[in-house]
Amino acid sequence: MQKIKMPVPLVEMDGDEMTRIIWDMIKQDLILPYIDLNTEYYDLGLKYRDETNDQVTYDAANAIKKYGVGVKCATITPNAQRVEEYGLKEMYKSPNGTIRAILDGTVFRAPIVVDGISPSVKTWKKPITIARHAYGDVYRNTEYRVPANTKFEMIFTTDGKETRLPVFEYEGGGVAQGMYNTDKSISSFARSCFNYAIDTRQDLWFATKDTISKIYDHTFKDIFQEIFDEEYKEKFDELGIEYFYTLIDDAVARVIRSEGGYIWACKNYDGDVMSDMVATAFGSLAMMTSVLVSPDGNYEYEAAHGTVTRHYYKHLDGEETSTNSMATIFAWSGALRKRGEMDQNDALVKFADALDKASIRTIEEGVMTKDLALLWEKGNKKVVNTHGFIKEVATRLDQELKEIM
């Protein structure tokens, strides 16, 4: 087979620890034999971030804006212990946070579903994608431990004019918090969700507590509805997909009774909580994919899990590891597919589909890493090590590509 050409590059962001090891294996065994890989490479490994005073992270994010598509390996977010371990000049911010701030996006997380590992919720047959609004609300609050005999008021100063709103009068002590969001951020969250629903041809659900929060949550509901009616309704009708709004408590009940197969857009706190519930119920963090979609149509693909530190230290000690590379493989296939779609490069899209299919087939044929072996429900299984799994996928990828190319 002739190698597939890629005239336009995608942004490749290398990372840390065990996922950096997997990154190279995936490239060597699953990508480079088939594709004339064209990437603009940024090393987001902690050592190089430190050497460049984190400039490399900013450069990578700006490159995604230029080329439209990026694929990122998991990276260490330094804490005090990492500052010591790597002798860092400072405690750099989370690379994902920096990239998100530059691209202004929404993160969509979806599980990879395989036959033989059932979700804990028996009705779920298809993946549920969580879209979490990652701006404001309780994550940017101002809190106060209130002493007794205190009057709580909110003051807004608009062009020098004050508006005062009474909140509560405390006799004993208590707690208080102020939080905010902006029309701009809510609108870009809405557009990212509608665009992603169109892209993946799935229904979009959104829920807030607008009956109780008649201004704050209701504004989310209104902005979503206005943008949907004005900009997206026609396209949704054309594709036969639906935008569905309900109350958050009703949404939770419906999600549990559903078959899956839709995007669930959540406010910041709801998304934080519900994405952990959905990930756990679908089985394993190692099977969660993640994509950051910006409102102006840039995409950054990655695995939802971290750098798997425990396995890395075993690897450094020369011990065998059995790290699951599925989510990182899907990050690569996601980015290659998107590159292909943007450039009308059909061969690249077909390759990405074949890579997904080969990876899922590997597990469905009973070949898996240790983390999945515990969840496997279908008879015989072969538990393989980190590289063993990728080689098993490569064998099946060869077969898939022979059939279609």
Ligand X SMILES: NC(=O)c1ccc[n+]([C@@H]2O[C@H](COP(=O)([O-])OP(=O)(O)OC[C@H]3O[C@@H](n4cnc5c(N)ncnc54)[C@H](O)[C@@H]3O)[C@@H](O)[C@H]2O)c1
Q: Which residues are annotated as a binding site for Mn(2+)?
A: 249, 272
CA distance 228 to 234: 9
Q: Does 285 bind ligand X (CB under 6 A)?
A: yes
Contact status, residue 214 vs residue 222, Cβ threshold 8 Å: no
Q: Does 210 bind ligand X (CB under 6 A)?
A: no
Per CB under 6 A, the list member of 76, 110, 207, 248 interacting with ligand X is: 76
Q: Does 323 bind ligand X (CB under 6 A)?
A: yes
CA distance 97 to 107: 11
CA distance 34 to 336: 12
Options 51-59, 72-80, 177-185, 195-203: segment touching ligand X (CB under 6 A)? 72-80
Q: Does 77 bind ligand X (CB under 6 A)?
A: yes
CA distance 159 to 226: 28
Q: Does 324 bind ligand X (CB under 6 A)?
A: yes
- State the nearest-atom distance from the C-beta of 121 to ligand X, in Å: 21
- State the nearest-atom distance from the C-beta of 90 to ligand X, in Å: 16
Q: Give the residue numbers of the binding site for D-threo-isocitrate.
A: 77, 94-100, 109, 132
Options 75-83, 166-174, 359-367, 388-396: segment touching ligand X (CB under 6 A)? 75-83
- Binding-site size, ligand X (CB under 6 A): 17
Contact letters for ligand X, residues 344-383 (x by CB under 6 A): ---------------------------x------------
Q: Does 310 bind ligand X (CB under 6 A)?
A: yes
Closest CA to 393 of 31, 135, 8: 31
Nearest residue (beta carbon) to ligand X = 306
Per CB under 6 A, the list member of 96, 202, 258, 359 interacting with ligand X is: 96
Q: Does 306 bind ligand X (CB under 6 A)?
A: yes
Q: Does 309 bind ligand X (CB under 6 A)?
A: yes
Closest CA to 303 of 13, 82, 64: 13
Q: Which amino acid does the sequence have at 163?
A: T
CA dihedral 87→44→107→136, nearest 10 degrees, is 40
Q: Does 74 bind ligand X (CB under 6 A)?
A: yes
CA distance 78 to 46: 8
Q: Does 305 bind ligand X (CB under 6 A)?
A: yes
CA distance 292 to 301: 7
Per CB under 6 A, the list member of 308, 349, 367, 397 interacting with ligand X is: 308
Q: Does 386 bind ligand X (CB under 6 A)?
A: no
Closest CA to 195 of 253, 136, 131: 131
Q: Does 192 bind ligand X (CB under 6 A)?
A: no
- State the nearest-atom distance from the C-beta of 310 to ligand X, in Å: 5
Contact status, residue 178 vs residue 211, Cβ threshold 8 Å: no
Tokens of 200: 């993946």
In degrees and rounded to multiples of 5, residue 216 shows phi and psi of -60, -65
CA distance 388 to 189: 40
Q: Which amino acid does the sequence have at 106?
A: T
Q: Does 98 bind ligand X (CB under 6 A)?
A: no
Contact status, residue 355 vs residue 394, Cβ threshold 8 Å: no
Shorter beta-carbon distance to ligand X: residue 103 or 285:
285
Binding interface with ligand X (CB under 6 A): 74-77, 96, 285-286, 302, 305-310, 323-324, 371
